[in-house]
């Protein structure tokens, strides 16, 4: 990748290459060079969205042109993007995220960046993962011994979403905003303002993703951030149900699972998740009680019975 930076961008600075990405500083500006895995149609919408953020003085990283005056660099059928990133890698908490959500409210017009069909997307993923485990997972004992539990939890989340849509109606408070594929703790500006991470969705998506990451990375901060969020944010019954559904869905397991199946991580990294399964069940029970104190959200019967 260093050679590509020299070839397409005339970059000869001290380039740090790590985990399929390169970073460097030039003229007191920080840059990230990374593979681009999305379609050109998606890039067109991401670029337009980024331009709107820039116009409104909302922080975001910048797309950088290569020597051929293109934003997407293609070499050996692989696409790459160069981004100018925030120089200072600041951390953003839940209150910062809420402020950001208020800055850009997006209409419900059709967009390929809009990820509103959660249950359908999750169902397709689970079907594919189940096929993978059957065909390719025979030499992966940790996955074989844990997958059925997490796929079952995912099925719970899918049913919860479908029942919510049938029983409850969204209100005007269910705002469509700029969200991220994933939010991790610590939530750093290099990730939070990376346009390649942007999607369009309901604002509970980022919050649920952040809470799940906090559970596994910093339970002390989880309590602080949850208190801050629920003190300053009121959702509708529909919104609380969607938040709970996203907490049910074990993206934290499937993210590592996908990396294991692609050879990017060792299978033993799943143990960090698996070894906290009982604690996460307790967290789900406590979250149910908390959300139920705000609105009569539907229970998950097996979790209630175990309480």
* Mean pLDDT, residues 72-91: 94
Among 218, 57, 89, 243, which residue's Cα sits nearest to residue 164? 243
pLDDT reported for residue 307: 52
Q: What is the pTM of this model?
A: 0.94
How far is the C-alpha of 222 from the C-alpha of 227, rounded, in Å?
A: 8
pLDDT reported for residue 19: 82
pLDDT tens readout for residues 44-70: 999 999 999 999 999 999 999 999 999
How far is the C-alpha of 258 from the C-alpha of 302, rounded, in Å?
A: 28
Task: Categorize the per-residue pLDDT at 170 as very low, low, confident or very high, splitting at 50, 70 and 90.
Answer: confident
pLDDT tens readout for residues 11-29: 987 899 988 899 999 999 9
Q: Decide: 106 and 174 in contact? Cβ < 8 Å.
A: no
Close Cβ partners of 29 (under 8 Å, ≥ 6 residues apart): 84, 87
Inform me whether the pLDDT recorded for 304 exceeds 90: no
How far is the C-alpha of 59 from the C-alpha of 305, rounded, in Å?
A: 46
């Amino acid at each position: 990748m260093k050679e590509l930076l020299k070839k397409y961008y005339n970059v000869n600075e001290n380039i740090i290459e790590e985990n399929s990405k390169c970073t460097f500083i030039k003229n007191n500006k920080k840059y990230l060079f990374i593979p681009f895995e999305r379609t050109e149609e998606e890039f067109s919408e991401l670029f337009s969205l980024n331009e709107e953020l820039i116009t409104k003085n909302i922080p975001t990283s910048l797309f950088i042109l290569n020597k051929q005056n293109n934003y997407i660099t293609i070499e050996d059928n692989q696409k790459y993007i160069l981004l100018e990133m925030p120089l200072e890698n600041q951390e953003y908490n839940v209150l910062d995220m809420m402020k950001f959500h208020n800055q850009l409210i997006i209409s419900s017009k059709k967009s390929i960046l809009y990820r509103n069909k959660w249950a359908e997307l999750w169902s397709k993923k689970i079907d594919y993962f189940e096929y993978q485990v059957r065909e390719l997972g025979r030499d992966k004992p940790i996955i074989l011994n844990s997958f059925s539990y997490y796929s079952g939890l995912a099925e719970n989340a899918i049913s919860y979403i479908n029942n919510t849509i049938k029983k409850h109606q969204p209100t005007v408070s269910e705002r469509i905003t700029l969200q991220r594929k994933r939010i991790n703790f610590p939530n750093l500006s290099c990730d939070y303002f990376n346009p390649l991470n942007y999607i369009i969705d309901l604002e509970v998506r980022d919050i649920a993703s952040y809470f799940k990451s906090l559970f596994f990375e910093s339970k002390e901060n989880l309590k602080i951030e949850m208190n801050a969020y629920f003190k300053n944010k009121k959702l509708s019954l529909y919104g609380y149900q969607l938040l709970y559904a996203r907490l049910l869905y074990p993206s934290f397991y499937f993210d590592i699972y996908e990396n294991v199946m692609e050879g990017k991580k060792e299978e033993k990294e799943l143990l960090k998740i698996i070894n906290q399964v009982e604690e996460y069940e307790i967290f789900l029970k406590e979250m149910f009680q908390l959300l139920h104190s705000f609105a009569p959200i539907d229970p998950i019967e097996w979790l209630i019975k175990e309480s």
